[in-house]
């Protein structure tokens, strides 16, 4: 059996009725889902993840970070107008965008690593769709009550109470959606002043349209479509299939100990018939936000939120049976235990085969072993992830905050002066990438005898100029380089422009060429 | 149409057409789509009335709004002109040293001058302002009539040897074919070449020097470095405007050619001529 090969549903008629043929509609109507509130360690973990992720999302733009008078004081800011990206002590210019690309590569490999080790953990805990649906469900439960109350309300007539509850619910959902879209724009402008402008109607049109768009997507995807997004719209579950293998942890119903299930297991056990642990209480089905029955085996709908584990564990606790009837398990373990319970598939599941006489599990039953997480596949992902991370840190620590770019005049390529000397023109850009004023020394290396002239600064000629540069800005200068007649050679000559800041001992070199009439 | 036929599988009515047992389902267009389609037709009719639409023999219907893309362009151009109005006016009212001293004006004038140069000047002076035989290179430091911004401005505004402008700079080199003997012309040419290079016959340089002092120095100067009063070129530098080599120098002495540049003040207006002067001055040779 392969992962995601769902077992045949129990409801299929066994009498050889015609299989699903062309008459079966291809469109499946949506089934309404009313997830019950779950309690347990995974639910607690999910609350924590929700608190942290939502906290990061909503609060980050409001963190202040002092960068002096020439740069914004917002800790995380994507300044599109000025083409700067600020992240705490890091400032990124557009040409350094590879840092962001590197972070995305790391995020990708991190996700690969997580998925191959613990399955669809992203889907179950951290995906914004999951987090916001969880949040919306909290509101729904608060207004309309838990599963049974909601089912009753939904089936009931449109009384005043129902209208009131529905309107309240959707109003709160919309408020959350507006807050979600609203928080997004604060990453792109100074948050406090944008908030003031936004509320007083003075913000840019794009701010309002962005909030409107994200409000709509949050409300529709998180409130109305919910599990449909995961099942039909999201490409990630399809990609994840490539990362999972027989050693990945997935939420598994251990039918080798659960079957045969029955509502009256005590009686069955008393009759000395083999009875499984599953009491068919349907608690796992009631809590499932995807509306599936995990006991049908692996299904593409399962986002491994593990709420069914919590639900089942609490039932097992009440029945004083060991937890883990539904548990995180690898396919390898599961199949080994199934083979044990069914004598390699020759017979139906017999609980006695996996138990000792005292009811404890037999020693042959395989349990999860943490060492499985360390295998070539995960080590490879971990290695790539670490390598990219180290590369980024090294690049970040060794990057220069001073750069010189040179554009050589092409028309004219050179100018003959009246004394026979040759002049070339260059447009020089000095990039001062720190929010402080400083003086940059622009000098030449090579091209003996030649001198620079910068008309914007002074009429004098020299080989070194001290150029004041503005904080966090590009300074553009026209520079003329003149080579005396006696020094003009036959070929194009190479030389270097050197920009350096003696105070910070930063230095950037640009290798330029000098055109002469002899150069072909 | 044939009698109604309902498809078994989908429960949808068919069109009644049948090809080898295959029937076409009749799924009519959704209502909303149809209404959108009708709305588009109504919109299109209104559009035809309001905007120019129907082609006639000599043009098209004007439309109730009187819109035309040409008028829209003219409006945008006028808007741009208004937007630049303040600084253009400031440039008009300022002297060239004032413009050069003000970074904002200088930057605007340089950019505007570059644009005007591409339209009006590149035909003779070339897109890089490098000129050609008979057309001066504007990048270098060799100026016939002066390289200060004011000198450049005077040249652009009133032209060179331009008959229609009374203030145009005028000078003329006499044709020495009638004044000097052919042998003397060769000698003076040898002398001029000797100032920057090696003549074919060094023996001709000495007599040439004497002839130069008698006939040429009054305009080109004792040291042959030219005279900007008359636009007399510097003959002792590396730059040759019209001629190259002894024979061509001799030909120029015999029967000189003179360049003509039109006056631009009247055609381009005060501000544009100033902008052009600032741009030329910025090319590297400005004094």
CB–CB contact A411 B130 (8 Å): yes
pLDDT of A512 reads 95
Asked if residues B120 and B113 have their Cβ atoms less than 8 Å apart, the reply is no
Q: How far is B6 from chain A (nearest CA, A)?
A: 14
User: Residue B238 is nearest to which of A22, A420, A455, comparing CB atoms?
Assistant: A420
Select the residue from B238, B280, B281 to test the A interface by mutation, using most A Cβ atoms within 10 A. Answer: B238
CB–CB contact B238 A480 (8 Å): no
Which band of pLDDT confidence, cut at 50, 70 and 90, is reported for residue A18? Answer: very low
Name the closest residue on chain A to residue B281, using Cα atoms: A455
Count of A-B CB contacts under 8 Å: 47
**DSSP structural state of residue A27:** P
pLDDT digits (tens, 9 = 90+) for B233-275: 999 998 988 888 889 999 999 999 999 999 999 999 999 999 9
How far apart are the C-alpha atoms of A462 and A442, rounded to whole Å?
10
pLDDT of A4 reads 41
Q: Which residues of B are less than 8 Å from A417 in CB distance?
A: 140-142, 238-239, 285
Select the residue from B104, B122, B141, B148 to test the A interface by mutation, using most A Cβ atoms within 10 A. Answer: B141
Name the closest residue on chain B to residue A415, using Cα atoms: B140
pLDDT of A28 reads 72
Domains and CATH numbers, chain B: 14-60 (no CATH), 71-168+261-281 (1.10.760.10), 182-254 (1.10.760.10)
Select the residue from A20, A417, A476, A486 to test the B interface by mutation, using most B Cβ atoms within 10 A. Answer: A417
pLDDT of A2 reads 40
User: DSSP H helical segments within A70-159, as ranges?
Assistant: 98-118, 121, 128-144, 147-155
Rg of chain A (C-alpha set) = 34
pLDDT of B283 reads 93
pLDDT of A354 reads 82
- Residue A417, chain B, CB below 8 Å: the answer is yes
CB–CB contact A415 B137 (8 Å): yes
CB–CB contact A423 B234 (8 Å): no
CA dihedral (A477, B110, A82, A108) positive or negative: negative
- Residue A423, chain B, CB below 8 Å: the answer is yes
CB–CB contact A455 B130 (8 Å): no
Q: How far is B143 from chain A (nearest CA, A)?
A: 9
How far apart are the C-alpha atoms of B179 and A484, rounded to whole Å?
39
Give the lowest-confidence range in A11-15, A369-373, A410-414, A458-462: A11-15
* Burial zone of A338 (CB within 10 Å; 0-12 exposed, 13-18 middle, 19+ buried): middle
In this prediction, what percent of chain B has a pLDDT beyond 90? 76
B78 CB neighbour count, 10 Å cutoff: 10
Q: How far is B179 from chain A (nearest CA, A)?
A: 30
First to last CA, chain B: 93
Q: How far is B236 from chain A (nearest CA, A)?
A: 9
Which band of pLDDT confidence, cut at 50, 70 and 90, is reported for residue A21? Answer: low
- Residue A455, chain B, CB below 8 Å: the answer is yes
Select the residue from A22, A26, A414, A415 to test the B interface by mutation, using most B Cβ atoms within 10 A. Answer: A415
| Distance from the Cα of residue A341 to its chain's centroid | 41
CA angle A39, A45, A49 (to 5 degrees): 130
Q: How far is B61 from chain A (nearest CA, A)?
A: 37
Q: Which residues of B are less than 8 Å from A461 in CB distance?
A: none
* Mean pLDDT within B145-155: 94
In this prediction, what percent of chain A has a pLDDT beyond 70? 92
Q: Where are the domains of chain A?
A: 41-240, 249-368, 402-514
Which band of pLDDT confidence, cut at 50, 70 and 90, is reported for residue A15? Answer: very low
Asked if residues B226 and B233 have their Cβ atoms less than 8 Å apart, the reply is yes
Structure tokens at B129: 């302002």
Give which of A209, A229, A39, A21 is closest to A123, Cα–Cα: A229
Q: Which residues of B are less than 8 Å from A419 in CB distance?
A: 237-238
Strand pairing partners for A328? A251
pLDDT digits (tens, 9 = 90+) for A80-127: 988 999 999 999 999 998 999 999 999 999 999 999 888 899 999 999
Between residues 206 and 245 of chain A, which touch chain B (CB distance below 8 Å)? none
* Mean pLDDT within B217-238: 92
- What class, spelled out in words, does domain A402-514 have in CATH? mainly beta
CB–CB contact B9 A485 (8 Å): no
Residue indicated by tokens 């035809």 = B48
Q: What is the ipTM metric for this complex?
A: 0.80
A249-253, A372-376, B24-28 — which one is most confidently predicted on average?
A: A249-253
B→A contacts (Cβ < 8 Å), by residue, are 9, 127-130, 137, 139-142, 234, 237-239, 282, 284-286
pLDDT of A10 reads 43
CB–CB contact B238 A425 (8 Å): no
Asked if residues A191 and A102 have their Cβ atoms less than 8 Å apart, the reply is no
- Residue A459, chain B, CB below 8 Å: the answer is no
The reply to whether omega before A412 is within 30° of 0 (cis) is: yes
Q: Which residues of B are less than 8 Å from A425 in CB distance?
A: 284
pLDDT of A490 reads 81
- Residue A486, chain B, CB below 8 Å: the answer is no
* Mean pLDDT within A267-282: 74
Q: How far is A217 from chain B (nearest CA, A)?
A: 23
pLDDT of A268 reads 64
- Torsion (CA) A125, A131, A134, A136 in degrees, nearest 10: -170
* Mean pLDDT within A124-140: 94
pLDDT of B190 reads 93
Name the closest residue on chain A to residue B11, using Cα atoms: A23
How far apart are the C-alpha atoms of A22 and B85, rounded to whole Å?
75
Q: Which residues of A are less than 8 Å from B130 in CB distance?
A: 411-412, 415
Structure tokens at A213: 């768009």
In this structure, chain B runs to a length of 287
pLDDT digits (tens, 9 = 90+) for A195-237: 999 999 999 999 999 999 999 999 999 999 999 999 989 998 8
pLDDT digits (tens, 9 = 90+) for A385-416: 999 999 999 999 988 899 999 999 998 999 99
Name the closest residue on chain B to residue A479, using Cα atoms: B284
CB–CB contact A415 B140 (8 Å): yes
pLDDT of B25 reads 86
Arithmetic mean of pLDDT over chain B: 91
User: Residue A418 is nearest to which of B9, B238, B286, comparing CB atoms?
Assistant: B238
How far apart are the C-alpha atoms of A418 and A437, rounded to whole Å?
40
How far apart are the C-alpha atoms of A119 and B113, rounded to whole Å?
66
CB–CB contact A419 B237 (8 Å): yes
Which band of pLDDT confidence, cut at 50, 70 and 90, is reported for residue A274? Answer: low
Residue A361 has pLDDT above 90, yes or no: no
- Beta strands across the sheet bearing A90-92: A76-79, A84-87, A90-92
Q: How far is A481 from chain B (nearest CA, A)?
A: 10
- Residue A4, chain B, CB below 8 Å: the answer is no
pLDDT of A321 reads 86
pTM (predicted TM-score): 0.75
Name the closest residue on chain A to residue B283, using Cα atoms: A425
Q: How far is A13 from chain B (nearest CA, A)?
A: 22
DSSP E strands in A410-449: the ranges are 415-416, 422-432, 438-445
pLDDT of A519 reads 63
Give the lowest-confidence range in A24-28, A29-33, A459-463, B34-38: A24-28
């Amino acid at each position: 059996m392969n992962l995601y090969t769902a077992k045949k549903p129990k409801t299929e008629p066994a009498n050889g009725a015609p299989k699903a043929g062309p008459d079966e509609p291809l469109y499946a109507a949506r089934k309404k889902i009313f997830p019950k509130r779950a309690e347990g360690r995974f639910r607690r973990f999910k609350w924590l993840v929700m608190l942290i992720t939502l906290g990061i999302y909503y609060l980050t733009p409001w963190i202040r970070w002092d960068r002096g008078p020439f740069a914004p004081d917002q800790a995380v800011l994507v300044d599109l107008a000025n083409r700067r990206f600020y992240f705490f002590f890091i400032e990124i210019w557009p040409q350094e965008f590879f840092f962001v690309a590197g972070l995305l590569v790391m995020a990708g490999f991190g996700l690969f690593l997580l998925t191959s080790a613990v399955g669809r953990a992203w889907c179950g805990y951290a995906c914004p769709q999951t987090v916001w649906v969880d949040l919306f469900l909290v509101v729904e439960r608060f207004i309309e009550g838990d599963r049974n109350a909601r089912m009753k309300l939904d089936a009931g007539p449109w009384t005043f109470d129902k209208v009131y509850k529905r309107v309240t619910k959707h109003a709160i959902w919309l408020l959350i959606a507006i807050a979600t879209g609203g928080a997004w724009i604060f990453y792109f402008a100074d948050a406090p002043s944008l908030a003031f402008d936004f509320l007083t109607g003075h913000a840019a049109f794009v701010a309002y349209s962005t909030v409107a768009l994200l409000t709509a997507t949050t409300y529709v995807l998180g409130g109305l479509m919910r599990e449909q997004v995961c099942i039909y719209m999201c490409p990630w579950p399809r990609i994840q299939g490539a990362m999972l293998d027989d050693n990945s942890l997935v939420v598994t119903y251990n039918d080798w100990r659960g079957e045969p299930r029955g509502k009256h297991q005590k009686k069955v056990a008393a009759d000395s018939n083999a009875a499984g642990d599953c009491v068919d209480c349907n608690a796992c089905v009631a809590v499932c936000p995807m509306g599936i029955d995990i006991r049908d085996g692996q299904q593409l709908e399962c986002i491994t939120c593990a709420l069914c584990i919590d639900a089942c564990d609490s039932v097992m606790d009440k029945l004083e049976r060991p937890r883990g009837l539904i548990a995180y398990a690898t396919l390898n373990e599961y199949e080994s235990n199934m083979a044990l319970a069914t004598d390699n598939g020759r017979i139906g599941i017999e609980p006695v085969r996996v138990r000792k006489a005292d009811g404890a599990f037999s020693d042959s039953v395989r349990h999860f072993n943490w060492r499985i997480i360390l295998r070539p596949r995960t080590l490879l992902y971990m290695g790539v992830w670490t390598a990219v991370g180290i590369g980024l840190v090294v690049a970040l620590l060794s990057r220069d905050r001073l750069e010189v770019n040179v554009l050589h005049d092409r028309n004219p390529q050179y100018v003959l002066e009246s004394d026979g000397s040759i002049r070339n023109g260059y447009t020089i850009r000095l990039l001062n990438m720190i929010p402080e004023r400083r003086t940059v020394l622009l000098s030449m290396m090579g091209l003996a005898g030649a001198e620079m002239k910068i008309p914007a600064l002074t009429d004098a000629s020299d080989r070194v100029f001290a150029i004041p540069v503005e904080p966090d800005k590009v300074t553009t200068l026209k520079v003329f380089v003149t080579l005396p007649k006696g020094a003009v050679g036959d070929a194009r000559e190479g030389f270097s422009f050197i920009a350096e800041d003696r105070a910070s001992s930063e230095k950037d070199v640009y290798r330029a060429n000098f055109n002469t009439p002899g150069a072909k | 149409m044939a009698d109604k036929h309902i498809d078994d599988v989908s429960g949808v009515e068919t069109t009644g057409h049948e090809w080898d047992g295959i029937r076409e389902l009749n799924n009519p267009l959704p209502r909303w789509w149809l209404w959108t389609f009708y709305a588009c037709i109504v919109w299109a009719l209104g559009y035809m009335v309001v905007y120019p639409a129907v082609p006639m023999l000599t043009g098209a219907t004007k439309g109730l709004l009187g819109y035309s893309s040409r008028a829209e362009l003219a409006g945008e151009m006028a808007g741009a002109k208004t937007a630049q109005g303040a600084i253009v006016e400031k440039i008009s009212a300022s002297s060239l040293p004032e413009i050069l001293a003000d970074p904002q004006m200088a930057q605007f004038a340089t950019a505007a001058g570059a644009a005007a140069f591409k339209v009006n000047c590149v035909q003779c002076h070339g897109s890089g302002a490098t000129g050609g035989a008979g057309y001066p290179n504007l990048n270098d430091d060799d100026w016939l009539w002066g390289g200060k911004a004011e000198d450049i401005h005077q040249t652009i505004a009133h032209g060179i040897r331009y008959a229609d402008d009374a203030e145009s700079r005028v000078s003329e080199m006499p044709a020495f074919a009638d004044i000097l003997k052919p042998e003397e012309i060769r000698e003076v040419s040898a002398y001029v070449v000797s100032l920057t290079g090696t003549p074919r016959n060094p023996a001709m340089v000495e007599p040439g020097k004497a002839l130069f002092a008698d006939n040429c120095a009054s305009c080109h100067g004792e040291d042959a470095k030219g005279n900007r009063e008359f636009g007399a070129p510097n003959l002792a530098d590396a730059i040759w405007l019209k001629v190259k080599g002894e024979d061509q120098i001799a030909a120029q002495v015999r029967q000189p050619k003179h360049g003509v540049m039109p006056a631009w003040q009247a055609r381009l207006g005060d501000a544009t001529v100033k902008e052009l002067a600032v741009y030329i001055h910025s090319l590297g040779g400005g004094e």
